[in-house]
Amino acid sequence: MNRLEKVTEYILYLFLISLCCFKGMINTFGGLFVLTSGVLIYKLPNKKEFFEKYKLEMIFVGIYLLGIILEYFSIENAKAYKFLYKSFYFLMTPGLLYFFEKEEFRKKAVYLISFSLLIGIVESFRQFAIIYKYNYNSNIRVESFFDIMRWGSALQMGLLLILPFLRKNIYFWIVFLLGIPSLILNNSRGPWLAFTICFIIYIGYLLLYKKRIRTLILLGVIVTGLAVTGVQRYPKEFKRFVERANSIKNLENNYSNLGRTFMWKENILFMKDSLKDNKRAFFFGVGCDNRTTIGEYVVQKDSWKNAHSRAKGAFSFSDAHNMYIHTFVRKGVIYGTLFWGYMIYYILKRLKDRLYLEDKYILGSLLSTISFFICGIFYGYIFTFDTFIFYIIFLLGVNYNYELFSYKENNKKIVEENL
């Protein structure tokens, strides 16, 4: 390993440790990694083969670069630089793929991400103790180094990443078991729903594909034991937790739900009206950090007065409360169609090409990615720090050791033939 590769590797270590807890360091070490890994890839003797191998992933870099250009045609073109640094994680793609090729580094990456997650979990407990005096109710929202919704999103993605690694690993069990109460204290229903759905998917995988009955029984005993203990020791808190979870379907008097659905509707209507009255906004977006244009569009409507009263002001003109709508409104239909269209194509192709059910890294990455997309229904966080976490975990699932799998499959066939 040459000196540049070693330096780049240590920069990536620091970036991964910062991923769930130090936003400023994410920018610092992420930017350094883009520079050093760029030089490293450029100096590769086989860089042509490298880019050919990862040509599908390199298209994400191309879409990002196109996004920078399109931002200058948006309504808020004076702040086009904000898209550049809010989404620069795409420039990390070549360097990340270079290191994630190595099995030993992927292992280190999962440990470093989980360690970063653990730091964030401890900070959330500290805030719960100091700010809320250990008093849980359905109204508190315990955050960490990230704000409320971003922390819930990052936390559940990290927990799902390590879920396939829990077997015979005490460290991951500690992180996971500490992370669950932190997720509960966060009181964000989107992450709760995303985590629950993906956890059920994983249980189905163990039951139907792996047929690990004993593992499921052990897991069931642990979950049941923790749940029963929690209900017996904290009955009032458990009742509040259930009420909070059930409120996700309340569209009559839950102001958070009312505000969210109102903003979905108004952002969609804005896109519809822009096609007729403001084609620049329709094709190129209002700008990734523009709240004025949407605000002026909404507050002049009669529906705003009634909604503002019912939802108690639970609105955000800088956030469509939906990642998919948010992308199209902020970046326009050209970028939105290219990005999400290619994302769907890429994932479907990878699921077809990769034997992901045999690899813990790919399985953890897949669960975490699915949860990110579920959370995106409720949060417009495509240009925030937790997107960095998503993309790093997402790329963890790109590589696969075909030789190892072929070896296992051949041995399995030999055993079956001899039975």
Give the model confidence (pLDDT) of 352-366 as tens digits: 766 566 788 989 999
What is the predicted pLDDT for the residue at 137? 79
* Mean pLDDT value across residues 103-128: 95
User: What does the pLDDT look like over 247-301, one tens digit per residue?
Assistant: 777 666 677 788 788 889 999 999 999 999 889 999 999 998 888 888 888 888 7
pLDDT at 403 over 80: no
Q: Is 161 exposed, middle or buried (0-12, 13-18, 19+ CB in 10 A)?
A: buried
Which residue's structure tokens are 């919704």?
149
- Say yes or no to pLDDT of 416 above 60: no
Average pLDDT estimate for 62-78? 91
pLDDT tens digits for 173-205? 999 999 999 999 998 888 999 999 999 999 988
Q: pLDDT grade, residue 62 (50/70/90)? A: very high
Separation between Cα atoms, residue 124 and residue 158, nearest integer Å: 15
Confidence at residue 407, expressed as pLDDT on a 0 to 100 scale: 47
Query: How far apart (Å, rounded) are the C-alpha atoms in residues 243 and 250?
Result: 11
Cα angle value 64/264/65 (rounded, 5°): 5
Half-sphere exposure (Cβ direction) of 150: Cα atoms closer than 13 Å: 20
Q: Which of 154, 211, 184 is CA-nearest to residue 357?
A: 211
pLDDT at 107 over 60: yes
Arithmetic mean of pLDDT, 91-117: 94
CA 293 to mean position of chain CA atoms: 27
Mean pLDDT of 144-151: 83
* Contact present, 29 and 387 (Cβ < 8 Å): no
What pTM was estimated for this model as a whole? 0.89
Could you report the per-residue pLDDT of 30-51, keeping only the tens digit for each?
999 999 999 999 999 999 999 9
Residue 133 has pLDDT above 70, yes or no: yes
Residue 419 is predicted with a pLDDT of 47
Residue 115 has pLDDT above 90, yes or no: yes
The closest of 222, 115, 125, 203 to 164, measured between CA atoms, is 203
Distance CA 247, CA 3 (A): 55
Distance (Å) of CA 315 to CA 75, 260, 312: 21, 7, 9
